[in-house]
Amino acid sequence: MISATTRTIHFRLNGRAVSAEVASHHTLIEMLQAQFELTGARESCGQGLCGCCTVLLDGKPVSGCLYLAAFADGADIVTIEHLGEPDRLDPVQEAFIECGAFQCGYCTPGFILSAKSLLATNPQPSDDEIKDYLSGNLCRCGAYPEILQAVKLAARKSKRG
């Protein structure tokens, strides 16, 4: 049903074609949580400053707290839930575990997706390139040294294939 204030959008979500009914003020994060029960991307600051709500939209990381759901019409969205399987993790996920790159884990989905998209465009980044790319993600627990190590390890893992 379509009312004056909602519209139907069609997009790909984690590899499946889906559609959703969204109001013009709904953000991507609200839609993913309320309509698809995807809670890996989570809202923290709600201002585009912390990166906890990161999802990949057409391969690029966006802040789901600011991105309006209606704009996702026709897009290809990937959330943290789509990475790896419990017994076969994505190399970036593996690297985060091996390096202990988190404490509470609240920021981790955002860091992992940002790191994924960095490595997709720059498979062997320098330390400075990693820091620049991840500067929009905040970790209150201060796991930054381990996160840096993890991204470097993930780069080596991906190289080995």
Partner 1 sequence: MGNPINPKIVETQLSGAATMQLGFTLVEKMHLDGGQVVNASLADYRIPGIHDIPPMENEIVEAWQSNGPFGAKGVGELATFNVSPAIANAIDDAVGVRITELPLTPEAIFRALRAKAGMPIEDRR
Q: Render 12-41 in DSSP notation, one character per residue.
A: EETTEEEEEEEETT-BHHHHHHHHH---SS
Site string for ligand FES, 62-101 (x = CB under 6 A): -x-x------------------------------------
Q: CA-CA distances (angstroms) from residue 5 to 23, 31, 65, 66, 77?
A: 6, 15, 20, 19, 23
Q: Which residues, numbered 100-119, are part of the site for partner 1 (CB under 8 A)?
A: 100-103
Between the CA atoms of 89, 95, 99 and 105, what dihedral angle is there, to the nearest 10 degrees?
-60
Query: Is 144 near partner 1 (CB under 8 A)?
Result: yes
Specify the stretch interacting with ligand FES by CB under 6 A; choose among 1-9, 30-38, 113-121, 134-142.
134-142
Laid out side by side, the sheet with 76-78 consists of 16-23, 6-13, 76-78, 54-57, 60-63
Which candidate, 77, 83, 142, 85, places its Cα nearest to that of 112? 83
Which candidate, 75, 78, 81, places its Cα nearest to that of 56? 78
Specify the stretch interacting with ligand FES by CB under 6 A; choose among 2-10, 13-21, 82-90, 133-141.
133-141
By beta-carbon proximity to ligand FES, the closer residue of 10 and 45 is: 45
Site string for partner 1, 17-56 (x = CB under 8 A): ----------------------------x-x-xx------
Query: Is 43 near ligand FES (CB under 6 A)?
Result: yes
Which residues contact partner 1 (rule: CB under 8 A)? 45, 47, 49-50, 100-103, 131-132, 134-135, 137-148
Which residues contact ligand FES (rule: CB under 6 A)? 43-46, 48-53, 63, 65, 102-107, 139-141, 143
